[in-house]
Each structure stands twice: as C-alpha cells, then as structure tokens.
Structure 1
C-alpha cells in the first residue's frame, strides 16, 4: 500500500510540474470550431487534403509523433476515419496532387519518419504506402542527428510538358550551412518511387532545430523556422540559387517559431502565419512583403488562440463547408488533438489590427 501511495504522489507531482510549465491561454483567444479525436501519443503536424469532387469530404492528415505512432486522417467533424500506425516516430507531413503513378495520377501525403532516417509516401485518401517501406534521406552524414528527418514541404514546377515533384527536408540537427536537402521524387519505369538529391541549402543558427517548412508554390519561395532565431526565406526552385532572401520575425516570438503556413487571398497576396509556441498565439505577416521590397515581411499582428503549445499548423483558403466560409486553419494542440479554426475569425483580427 505504501508503494502504491508513493507512486500516486510522484505521478501527481509530475503532472503538476508539467501543468505549471504550460503557458496560459488568453481570455481573448479565438476558439476552435472543431477539436479532433485524440491519437495515442502526441500530435505534431497537420496537412489538408482537398477532395476535388466534394470539398465537404476533404480530410485533415496529421502525424502522431512517437515510436509506434503514425499517420491519421480526420474528417471535417474531427473524427478519425483512417490511420496507418506502428511507424518509427513520424514527424511532419505535406500533400501533393496529381502525382504520376501507375497508369494515372494520384494525390499523396509525404511524411518524415525520423527514427527510420526516411520519408514515407502514401496514396490519398486511402493512406496506402507506395514507397516500398521508406526512402532514405541525408545518406552519408556521419553524425546521427544529422540524418534524422523532421520537417518537410513539397514543391512542384512545370518543365515543358512535365511536372517535377520536389521534397524539401529538414532534420533534428545539422551544419551551419546546407541544413536542408532537396530531392525530386518520381515513379520509375519499374513502378517504384525513388528520390534523387538535387541540392543542399539553408542557413542554421545552431541554437535549436529546423522543423517547420512551408513552400509558396505560386511565388516560388520556401520558408522555414530556425526555431529560436526567426524565419528564413529562399527560392524553392533549385536553379534560382541558394542565397538567403530574408530573415525575419527575429524578435516577434516569445521563444520558438514553430509551424508555418500560407493563407492565399489570390495568386500573389495573403498572409504568412507562424505559430508562436510558448505564447499560444499566431504571428501574421504579409505574404507579398512590402510594396518596395517583396522580401520584407513586417509583423501585422499577434492573435491569441486556444491551441496550447502548437508545433505544426496548416491553412486552406477554400470554403470547405458553411462553418469555414473563408477557409480553415488547422493547429496541433497539447492533448493529442488538432484544432480547426474558422479563418473568418482570424481575418477579423487582422482587419482590426490594420485599422490601428
């Protein structure tokens, strides 16, 4: 009995200690329309798959970050409708449409599997793997943490009559330069999907890690969070070079700059949204930059949200159903869940900030 009592006391002490470390949620925080069902371990990063035939049947694809975790598909009500589990610590996920495979094209989710030193590719919406068990990344790196993939963002560009599919991958640790590796992924004649390394690029402060990556496909830029330092911007197209175009948000976050996503008002304007993790808020920047400098991204406003210590987030500007008429923001939150937010509420806050 004494052993059991002592165990209970220690457990309560640990829970209390963890609770004390959590940042408080602001009373002015925007509340989610939907909170998803829980996963087993620890949600981390979402992506949004748009169902082209019926947008109301679109899915949120999210990772459960732990050995034994996996990839989950949620409907717009937050219910888990599919899952692929027993993975070696899946981390981040992104989605591409119309990927050539077999005799046609499919939509895919591409996921980093950190403890397998690989990325995984799944056919959507079925969550069926098509990668033969995983495709290795960061091969040849001598240091263990240098080959542990974490962040990922996908990019496509037209080359003549074909489309080239790229995966830009970040990792747990790496050198001060060439932290990100960019690969093409394609289906070969034998039906197998393979990677080819095309470039290494990207500066790193060395202070924490680089996990969150987002690509603006229309404008051709890639953004990533150098977590405690700020957000860096480069060209997404390898042929345009490896020069850093911007390094912003350096003094805007409480500590960690985490998830990055892009709200697209049209082909060239909108907002860059960054998770301010320890503040339980999001940072809003102009996607198009300033009138005289497209690479100058000044903070528009900080908006408190109910999501607690958000790692990853994603946005669509499409009105998926009447609850999300101007689009939806999805955010990871503590509690093994994701939150769905109505963009209308966020836009109201942005408009108020612009009037001040």
Structure 2
C-alpha cells in the first residue's frame, strides 16, 4: 500500500507540474522520514508562531553562544524575541515577549556606542512599522523604542531584515523588506545604523530591489566578504545585488527559478572561506533546502530533505562551538512553534554524498 501511495503522489506531481526525478526523495522501499537530515536539538516551543532565527557567537566562550528567534504572535497575542542556549533551552530573563509582530532577526558585531563597540540584534516589528535594536548578549534596548522604516510610502509593514557590516569601514547597514511594495525597483530600503548619545538611529541610504508582484520579499541575507545581498522573490527566484549602496542598484543575477514546489523562503550562507561556501534556500512547502554555490554564478548543487515542517527562516554559522558543533550550526524554523538546531557536519555529509552521485 505504501509503495502504491508513493506512486500516486509522484503521478500527481507530474500532472501538476511539480517536482519529479530532480527532487531528493525516498525510493519505494524506504521510509522518507529516515532519509531526512535530523537535528541535534529542537528548541522549547514559543507561544504562537516561530519565524526566523539568528546566531550570536560568544567568542570568549563559544559553547555559551546564543540562538535568537522570533515568535510572530497571533490574533490578540503579542509576539516575542526568544533567546536560547545551544541546546534549545529558553533563557526567560533575556527573552522579550511584548512585541508587535516581530518577523525577521539578524546579528552584527562591532557597533560603535559610547566610545566602545558592542554586538547587536536587529529585528523587524511589523505592526509598529519599525526595526528594533538590542545590545547583545544583555538584550538591552538601545533604539529608543524603534527606528521607523518606509516612512515615505503607504506600503510599510516591515518583515525581512539583513545586516551588512561594510568591510572597508565597518559601517553597519540594515536592508529591510516588507509585506508588500512597489514593482518599480524600490521594494527594499537600506539604512545606515549610527549611534548618537547612546541611541542607535537609522539613515535611509538607498531604495532598490525588483519585485515580481507575486507573494512578497521577506528572506534577505548579506554576504559581507563578497559584497552581495540576496533576497527571495518568493514565487519567482533568488535575486542578487551589491550590498554596498555606493555600487548602485543594478540587479546582478536571478537564479533558482526551477524545481521549487512553491515558495522560496529563508536564506543563509555557510562560509568555507572568505570566498567559497554554500547558499541555502528553504523550499518551504517541500520541507527541503536547496543548496547553491556561494561563489561564481551561484550554481545549483543539490536539494536536501530536512525534518523541518514548512520552514521559513534559517541561519547558519561556520564556527567551532565546541565538541557538539565543531564545524558550525544550522538553525531552521519549523511550523510547530520551534526551531531545529543541526550539526553542520551532518549537512556537509549529505552535500558530499550528493556530489558523489
């Protein structure tokens, strides 16, 4: 009966124009769940709806690094920014649970503040039309209640955010996406983040980003060393631009147009060196991740099945976090109010296996 069901599913996908033999799936004699990459830990659940994670490296004690994840909230229920240890346990003292629809979060290091440098977490708060800035690891608010975004447009509602510390001068920029926007190449706004009198403010430096007009642009990631920013035009492709506003707004490339079941969602970059590595993209409805080369033309490498369900945001960091995660951590949202925490070595094995085929 199980084999027969797999055959019917495959035929239905062919009829609907969905994925076929290019998809990484189980053979008729294998349980598909056993082929999915499994996490080392799953976080304690949030109240409503997980969306996007970030990872903060504690360079003095890597095993005490933090995972930060958003809970969007629900009708009548406020959202939150949850702080976890590397085993997925919630730090209740650091977590913030009175936010108005927080969506995406990112982390940057070395923000000048009060004659020192600090690390920051930046996230979008959709219902206040702002981005929020908190100092890490204390989770101390340093934005005087939030930085307004998209002020000159009626289409505001921020969702995605990615931080870009420019290597030439270490100025930190926030690239912000929204729930909907124009199709004239100004969907994304980029802000320079600056501290004045102990408070971080944002200055608009450019508008860019071509949107297809279908679904939205939420997932954004910056490749600091290479100088690019990528975003998911969810129903169409992954788009690539220069991250430095001084280099202009020309779209460099679009790729990933094929073999996605539905939405292209979360983006993250695993850096093997300053120039090489992988770009991982969530194929949300298929419960898989597409892997592209970080370098060159971002050629497609493989598609890997994960145990996440309807995964939206994800993050990956190549760092030695100790014996459990010596080559880095991959964290992905799952549609059961959790984030799943993966040992990068398990993902690398799957990529290597795919490359041997």
With structure 1 as the length reference, what TM-score do the two structures score? 0.88
Give matches, 1:271-290, under 5 Å: 271-288=278-295
For 1:164, the equivalent position in structure 2 comes to: 171
For 2:339, the equivalent position in structure 1 comes to: 338
1:91 corresponds, among 103, 111, 117, to: 103
Matched, 1:179 2:187: yes
C-alpha separation between the residues in 2 aligned to 1:242 and 1:307? Answer: 35
Name the SS for the 2:246 alignment partner.
Answer: helix
Give matches, 1:1-356, under 5 Å: 26-66=33-73, 68-81=78-91, 82-142=94-154, 146-159=155-168, 162-176=169-183, 177-188=185-196, 190-288=197-295, 294=296, 296-356=297-357
Name the SS for the 2:44 alignment partner.
Answer: coil
Name the SS for the 1:86 alignment partner.
Answer: strand
Structure 2 unaligned segments of length 5 or more: list them. Answer: 1-30
Answer yes or no: is the 8 Å Cα contact 1:25–1:305 preserved in 2: no
Answer yes or no: is the 8 Å Cα contact 1:272–1:285 preserved in 2: yes
For 1:19, the equivalent position in structure 2 comes to: none
C-alpha separation between the residues in 2 aligned to 1:39 and 1:224? Answer: 26
C-alpha separation between the residues in 2 aligned to 1:351 and 1:311? Answer: 25
Answer yes or no: is the 8 Å Cα contact 1:184–1:198 preserved in 2: yes
Answer yes or no: is the 8 Å Cα contact 2:282–2:311 preserved in 1: yes
Name the SS for the 1:119 alignment partner.
Answer: strand
With structure 2 as the length reference, what TM-score do the two structures score? 0.88
C-alpha separation between the residues in 2 aligned to 1:89 and 1:114? Answer: 5
Answer yes or no: is the 8 Å Cα contact 1:186–1:195 preserved in 2: yes
Deviation of the 1:344 alpha carbon: 0.8
Task: Give RMSD over aligned pairs.
Answer: 1.3
Deviation of the 1:246 alpha carbon: 0.9
For 2:22, the equivalent position in structure 1 comes to: none
C-alpha separation between the residues in 1 aligned to 2:57 and 2:300? Answer: 29
C-alpha separation between the residues in 2 aligned to 1:319 and 1:306? Answer: 24
Name the SS for the 2:59 alignment partner.
Answer: coil
Per-residue displacement from partner, 1:93-129 (whole Å, max 9, x unpaired)?
A: 0001111112311110001000000000001111111
115 and 75 in structure 1: CA distance in 2 versus 1, 3 angstrom threshold: same
Name the SS for the 2:327 alignment partner.
Answer: coil
Moved over 6 A (4+): none
Deviation of the 1:25 alpha carbon: 6.6
C-alpha separation between the residues in 1 aligned to 2:317 and 2:112? Answer: 24
**Aligned length in residues:** 321
Structure 1 unaligned segments of length 5 or more: list them. Answer: 1-23, 289-293
For 2:5, the equivalent position in structure 1 comes to: none
Deviation of the 1:241 alpha carbon: 1.0
C-alpha separation between the residues in 1 aligned to 2:280 and 2:191? Answer: 25
Answer yes or no: is the 8 Å Cα contact 2:167–2:225 preserved in 1: no
Per-residue displacement from partner, 1:153-189 (whole Å, max 9, x unpaired)?
A: 0011245xx531100000000011210000001112x
C-alpha separation between the residues in 2 aligned to 1:343 and 1:156? Answer: 24
